[in-house]
Amino acid sequence: MMLSHLTTMFRRCQLGRRAVIAFPLIWLLLFFLLPFALVLKISLSEGAVAIPPYGPLVDYADQTLSIFLNLGNYLFLLSDSLYIAAYWGSVKTAFMSTVVCLLIGYPMAYAMARAPARWQLLLLLLVMLPSWTSFLIRVYAWMGILSNSGLINNLLMGMGVIETPLRMMNTQFAVVIGIVYAYLPFMVLPLYAHLTRLDNSLLEAASDLGSRKLNTFIKVTLPLSMGGIIAGSMLVFIPAVGEFVIPELLGGPNTLMIGKVLWEEFFLNRDWPIASALAMVMLLLLLIPIVWFHRYQSRELEK
């Protein structure tokens, strides 16, 4: 270990060391991990007309301790096809968006990594800049472009290509466009990071040995940028599954996505136990992608 010398020096002052570790650890345990335990708890409670709107899990009355574990919320999710359709719709839409992001983002990152050095910073800033403006406003931009009286329809009808406006708003197509548009920078960034680190001599060696360009790309470049592909895809796919703003603004009432359903259960129906159960099932679905992402990310963090 390169750091071992430094590490032993830090080890010498045990108390200070513990205090330094405790600061972020306790904050995150309290405000990140503990809340999940509460979601699990509320998902097992019964809805009630009260403030807050759920029943207790543990009750002590007449010298008897009763513990209620209400699986009803989960059974309800399974019995109603609306929820299953919403989960499926989310996974499908997120998957399609991730694939489109990858197909656009990979060549972009590749071109950036091959660009002359003095251009690279500028290109990187150009790709990232939209993500520093406002997510909400960038989704809003597509409302004006895709709607029936929007820019595309006006343009096409003005040119006489179509007679009646194309219905693009409130479709899955609009949601996919919105997700691709909003998340593309997060796909390009890790891909670019991996592709710039790519050792050029490997590519030269492949070409010296007579490998064709496409062959070199498939056998050398692609496998070596796999970490970037996985990180980028997870950065798009996982948040997209739970996306609320994009299906709400571009998907309309016809597109079922689980983030929107959860929002409505919580804010409109005030059914906190069902909303919690929906969140727990979503977390379960995303557990494998999240662990996968974490493994690549922590390899990056610790190496």
Partner 1 sequence: MSLVRRRPHFSTVMLIIGLLFLYLPMAVLVVYSFNSSRLVTVWAGFSTQWYAALFRDQQILSAVWTSLEIAFFAASMAVCLGTVAAFVMTRFGRFRGKTALSSMVTAPLVMPEVITGLSLLLLFVQMAQLTGWPADRGAVTIWIAHTTFCSAYVAVVVAARLRELDSSIEEAAMDLGSPPLKTFFFVTLPIISPALVAGWLLAFTLSLDDLVIASFVSGPGANTLPMVVFSSVRMGVSPKINALATLIILTVSLATFLAWYFMRRNEAKRQVILQQEDAG
Q: Does 120 bind partner 1 (CB under 8 A)?
A: no
Query: For partner 1, which residue of 3, 67, 159, 284 counts as binding (CB under 8 A)?
Result: 3
CB 214 to partner 1: min, Å: 11
Q: Cα angle vertex 219, ends 214, 225, to 5°?
A: 100
Q: Does 157 bind partner 1 (CB under 8 A)?
A: no
Q: Would you give the distance in Å from CA 91 to the centre of its chain? A: 11
DSSP letter (8 states) at residue 47: B
In three-state secondary structure terms, 64 is strand
Nearer to partner 1, 63 or 214 (CB): 214
Binding to partner 1, residues 260-279 (CB under 8 A) = 262-263, 266-267, 272, 275-276, 279
Strand partners, 60: 65
Q: Of 24-32, 61-69, 71-79, 156-164, which segment contacts partner 1 by CB under 8 A?
A: 24-32
Q: Are strands 64-67 and 58-61 parallel, antiparallel or unpaired?
A: antiparallel
Q: Does 111 bind partner 1 (CB under 8 A)?
A: yes
Give the span between the Cα atoms of 172 and 89, in whole angstroms.
Answer: 9
C-alpha distances in Å from residue 186, one per residue of 174, 176, 179, 191: 19, 15, 11, 9
Give the span between the Cα atoms of 86 and 2, in whole angstroms.
Answer: 50
Binding to partner 1, residues 36-55 (CB under 8 A) = 36, 38-39, 42, 52
Give the span between the Cα atoms of 51 and 62, in whole angstroms.
Answer: 25
- Phi/psi for 47 (5° steps) reads -65, 145
Q: Contact letters (x/-) for partner 1, 237-256, by CB under 8 A?
A: -xx-xxxxx--xx-------
Query: For partner 1, which residue of 74, 88, 138, 270 counts as binding (CB under 8 A)?
Result: 138
CB 215 to partner 1: min, Å: 16
81-114 vs 272-302: helix crossing angle, rounded to 10: 20
Q: Of 71-79, 81-89, 103-111, 196-204, which segment contacts partner 1 by CB under 8 A?
A: 103-111
Q: Of 67-75, 80-88, 124-132, 222-230, which segment contacts partner 1 by CB under 8 A?
A: 124-132
Token pair listed for 202: 């490997």
CB 258 to partner 1: min, Å: 8
Q: Does 68 bind partner 1 (CB under 8 A)?
A: no
Q: Does 2 bind partner 1 (CB under 8 A)?
A: yes
CB 171 to partner 1: min, Å: 17
Q: Does 226 bind partner 1 (CB under 8 A)?
A: no
Amino acid code (one letter) for 128:
M
Q: Does 96 bind partner 1 (CB under 8 A)?
A: no
